């Protein structure tokens, strides 16, 4: 999954407007314009399309954590310059305040059965022997499961740009 695709899916799932997206970046002490947001949400074939960097997505996800859980006092976490699906999954888990049982329930909504052990492997330190790379399919299914939970009437819908 591309960073732009993840951003589109999060925006659609949580029904975030462009102004709210700008505000979410601001919650992570990062200034973006509405035009940048539109560019990131556009399809690749559109002339206004902007490719989102790992750092920009990390900033958005840090802001999303603040948006969903409240901004903590003091220094904000430094956004990662490199992201992978495991880090994205971890940030979404934190933002949504999900426990393992919650995530497993969300994945069951899209007929993806994981054990608690398999799930915890995604959130381990990459140096751990029990670490497991989170593939696109797992992250995509998690986002779809959250969408089904929050927007049950839109079950067959795909996120759209703009």
| Residue stretches of the chain with pLDDT short of 70 | 154-162
pLDDT tens digits, one per residue of 44-82 = 999 999 999 999 999 999 999 999 999 888 788 899 999
List of residues 6+ apart from 86 with CB closer than 8 A: 122, 123, 126, 133, 134
Identify whether the C-beta of residue 143 lies closer than 8 Å to the C-beta of residue 154.
no
Count of residues making up the chain = 162
Is the pTM higher than 0.85? The answer reads yes
**3-class SS shares of the chain: helix, strand, coil, % to 5:** 55, 0, 45
pLDDT at 155: 54
């Amino acid at each position: 999954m591309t960073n732009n695709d993840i951003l589109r899916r999060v925006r659609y799932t949580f029904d975030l407007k462009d102004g709210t997206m700008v505000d979410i970046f601001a919650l992570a002490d990062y200034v973006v314009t509405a035009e940048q947001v539109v560019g990131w949400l556009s399809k690749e074939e559109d002339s206004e399309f902007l490719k989102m960097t790992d750092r920009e997505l990390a900033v958005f996800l840090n802001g999303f954590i603040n948006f969903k859980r409240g901004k903590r006092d003091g220094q904000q976490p430094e956004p990662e310059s490199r992201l992978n699906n495991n880090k994205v999954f971890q940030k979404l888990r934190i933002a949504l305040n999900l426990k393992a049982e919650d995530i497993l329930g969300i994945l069951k909504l899209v007929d993806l059965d994981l054990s608690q052990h398999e799930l915890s492997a995604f959130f381990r330190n990459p140096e751990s022997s029990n670490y497991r790379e989170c593939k696109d399919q797992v992250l995509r299914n998690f986002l779809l499961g959250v969408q089904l939970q929050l927007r049950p009437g839109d079950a067959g819908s795909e996120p759209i740009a703009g």
